[in-house]
Structure 1
Amino acid sequence: MISPLAYIDPDAQIGENVEIGPFVFIDKNVVIGDNNVIMPNANILYGSRIGNGNRIFPGAVIGAIPQDLKFHGEETTAEIGDNNTIRENVTINRGTAAKGKTIVGNNNLLMEGVHVAHDVWVGSGCIVGNSTKMAGEVIIDDNAIVSGGVLMHQFCRVGGYVMIQGGCRFSKDIPPFIIAGRDPIAYCGINIVGLRRRNFSNELIENIHNAYRIIYNSGKIVSEALEQVRKEVPMSKEIEYIISFVEGSQRGIIR
């Protein structure tokens, strides 16, 4: 299962039933779990931690040092969970002193050419399209769908269950359950198709819609709009998530 043409540092820890193709480079201080497939010409560099059942395609580079001039060789990691598909030429840099680690959760699809910069935290169940680029310390919550060619400014947060149109660029946060698109990027309604596919009830979808109708269309400042949401929309974990996301936004939400 391990090609004789691959290089594996003696210090690397490799789990069971791992397939490693020719010309793969695996550095020291690397831990790889069970049942992974690492295809030819992939590079797994110092500080990488890879879980179980992942497929890593040719040309992917995991654990390269950050593209951040403040990085001075500190001990950091790039941590990949389980059952991810990491396609050709994806780059996942390890963390800096800011957070110490870059994290990609479980069951994600990162398509060709995606860049995951230092200290980014990607949740689980996400799909990220070709050539999308995440700057440092971006956070993507679970079950987000990000189309191709999207540019994310550092420190931005993307909420769960969103759909982001291809080719967008943004420097503000994108709250959960919505569609974001156009140029400049804007709120385009809730992700009703995605929510139905995830078995959200019609009542819950209506409540989410009403919450965003107040936030975006009431003409009130954000704090007043959120207070109205609390008064008028039945509370659930999803509505609480919207409120906490918007209240906690450091960069402000897209309009």
Structure 2
Amino acid sequence: MIHPASIVECDGSDAEIGPFAVVGPEVRLGRGVRIGAHAVVEGRTTLSDGVRIGPNAVVGTEPQDLKYAGEPTELFIGERTVIREFADINRGTAATGRTEIGPDCLVMAYAHVAHDCRIGRGVILANAVNIAGHVEIGEYATIGGVVPVHQFVRIGAYSMIGGGYRVPMDVPPYCLVGGYPLRVASLNTIGLKRRGFSGERLRNLEEAFHLLFRGEGTLAARAGRIVQEERWGEEAKNLARFMLESRRGLVC
């Protein structure tokens, strides 16, 4: 259903669009998309099946980047993702051409996702989180409220960042971080168990965590050992590789 007080310039036959919403001509709407009152969706934006856009959210607008010169860039939002009221998500720039949010994400009220970000499946951005340009967030990561994330930062999968803390460097996967300055507090054990980590899989990751963050020698040597030795599981190797590949420096 398209409310008669909305302005819809694309095919919205399979969507539900509330009063005073504005949807531009280049927008593509999947089945079962719901767009709330006063929301704005514009530019080359794809809302996949089941996406929900809350009232007054602004999605697909031009990037807030002085280098942007009107290039045709995109925003893609995956299936069943929910964008709550007053959230703001920008399209990409010519640098990558695309901002992407994966399926089953929750972007809470007043959050901002800037240009060229890549956000994986099942990520939760709490209220008023501010994600700068070119940030990459791995699947099932959770970022607490009012957290600013510096541009080009990578946030690892299954990590959790406490509310209110500034994120200037890469956050390792599977970790719980917080404090001033930001530090790794522990493995994100509760979050991992909720996602089905258990038994030998979790014990192997715990052992790798203690070696990487509490072991002797350089971090590069400890991480290299985990990558090379066969006894370490996939998650342990992912953690070690992430740390070796960091360019901005690591939250440790």
Q: TM-score, normalised by structure 2?
A: 0.96
Alpha-carbon shift at residue 128 of structure 1 (Å): 0.9
Output the CA distance in 1 between the equivalents of 2:213 and 2:109.
34
Match status 1:113 vs 2:110: yes
Alpha-carbon shift at residue 219 of structure 1 (Å): 4.0
Query: Structure 1 stretch 116-125 or stretch 237-246: which is displaced more?
Result: 237-246
Whichever residue aligns with residue 8 of structure 2, its letter is I
- 2:38 is aligned to 41
**Structure 2: any 5+ residue segments left out of the alignment?**
none
Match status 1:248 vs 2:245: yes
Output the CA distance in 1 between the equivalents of 2:230 and 2:159.
20
> What are the superposed Cα offsets for residues 210-240 of structure 1, whole Å, 9 maximum, x if unpaired?
2121221124222111133346682222122
2:224–2:240 CA contact under 8 A, matched in 1: no
Output the CA distance in 2 between the equivalents of 1:20 and 1:216.
50
Q: Which of 50, 57, 76 is 1:53 aligned to?
A: 50
**Structure 1: any 5+ residue segments left out of the alignment?**
none
Alpha-carbon shift at residue 4 of structure 1 (Å): 0.6
Q: How does 1:202-213 map to 2 (within 5 A)?
A: 202-213=199-210
1:135–1:152 CA contact under 8 A, matched in 2: yes
Match status 1:29 vs 2:26: yes
State, as a whole percentage, how many aligned pairs show the same letter: 37
Q: TM-score, normalised by structure 1?
A: 0.95
Runs of 4+ in 1 over 3 A off after TM superposition: 230-233
- 1:3 is aligned to 3
- 2:175 is aligned to 178
Q: Which of 90, 95, 98 is 1:98 aligned to?
A: 95
Query: Structure 1 stretch 120-129 or stretch 224-233: which is displaced more?
Result: 224-233
Q: CA RMSD in A?
A: 1.3
Alpha-carbon shift at residue 15 of structure 1 (Å): 5.0
Whichever residue aligns with residue 13 of structure 1, its letter is D
Output the CA distance in 2 between the equivalents of 1:15 and 1:94.
24
Q: How does 1:26-175 map to 2 (within 5 A)?
A: 26-175=23-172
Query: Structure 1 stretch 177-186 or stretch 225-234: which is displaced more?
Result: 225-234
> What are the superposed Cα offsets for residues 161-203 of structure 1, whole Å, 9 maximum, x if unpaired?
1111000111110011110101111000101111111121232
Match status 1:14 vs 2:25: no
Output the CA distance in 2 between the equivalents of 1:49 and 1:30.
6
- For this pair of structures, how many residues does the alignment match? 252
Output the CA distance in 2 between the equivalents of 1:140 and 1:185.
17
Output the CA distance in 1 between the equivalents of 2:211 and 2:76.
39
